[in-house]
Structure 1
Amino acid sequence: MEISPGKNIAIKVPLHKWEETVAFYRDKVGLTVAKTLTNSVGFTFGSMTLWIDRVERQSQVDVWLELFSDDPDQALKKLDSPRRDELEPLDDVNGLWTSDPAGVVLLVRNE
């Protein structure tokens, strides 16, 4: 069982800072918009996608990372991290939510 970096990084941004943050990465950093959703803009970020997510009930910024594993349950045991299913629904994704000791949210899933 192996754990490796995923393809997505998400920055969860409070509603009142979302448009300004999207503009910063688009206009000042110069990242290319790869995909736009209702509450999220994905930018090409090297070989990854950097998602700027608008979160209605968020008071501060969070960074969420994605990890790949062929066995997410075993990866969770190896990481010795808590299961955090309450964070967001995982529709059509074979994986689970957890966090590191500092509280950074991790999505551990099949590629």
Structure 2
Amino acid sequence: MEPGKNLAIKVPLHRWSETVAFYRDKVGLTVTRELDTSIGFEFGNMTLWIDRVPQQSQTDVWIELFDDDPDAALSRLGSPIRDELEPLTNVVGHWTSDPAGTVILLRREQMS
């Protein structure tokens, strides 16, 4: 198991614009990708995503882990399957969480 390439901060709608401005204007991170509800920033060799989540009332940090066998890794971790969180399109893996509730995307890395 190893760290993935993405970190996400899930931000309530009423905090999204100021959070994006904070990382772009005050921290000085470079925007690498803009989507309808997300902005990606260069964060070392990772991408930090600031995701706008209208139905959310608090901020969450989600992380990504890679493993060649996500099912076996999930079993080793003893963590719950949380696949209801977001659709996993073209991804081999699962959403799960650590004991503190931090959401983890545990997946096989896609080779380019």
State the TM-score, normalized to the length of structure 2.
Answer: 0.96
Q: In 1, distance between residues paired with 2:103 and 2:33?
A: 22
For residues 16 and 55 of structure 1, what CA distance do their matches in structure 2 show?
9
Using the aligned pairs only, state the percent identity: 72
In the alignment, the residues of structure 2 paired with residue 64 and residue 85 of structure 1 have an alpha-carbon distance, to the nearest angstrom, of: 14
Any gaps of 5 or more consecutive residues in structure 1? Answer: none
**Residue aligning to 1:16:** 14
Residue equivalent to 2:63: 65
**For residue 45 of structure 1, what is the amino acid of its counterpart?**
F
Tell me what 1:80 maps to: 78
Q: CA deviation at 1:95?
A: 1.1
Partner residue of 2:93 out of 88, 92, 95: 95
Which one-letter code corresponds to 2:94 in the other structure? Answer: L
CA drift at 1:73:
0.2
Q: Which runs of 4+ in 1 moved over 4 A?
A: none
Q: Deviations over 1:6-64 (max 9, x none)?
A: 00000000000001000000000000001000000000000000000000100000000
SS at match of 1:63: strand
TM-score by length of 1: 0.97
After superposition, the CA RMSD in angstroms is 0.4
Q: Which runs of 5+ in 2 are unaligned?
A: none
DSSP 3-state at the match of 1:21: helix
Distance in 2 (CA, whole Å) between partners of 1:10 and 1:82 is 20
Partner of 1:109: 107
- Equivalenced residue count is 109
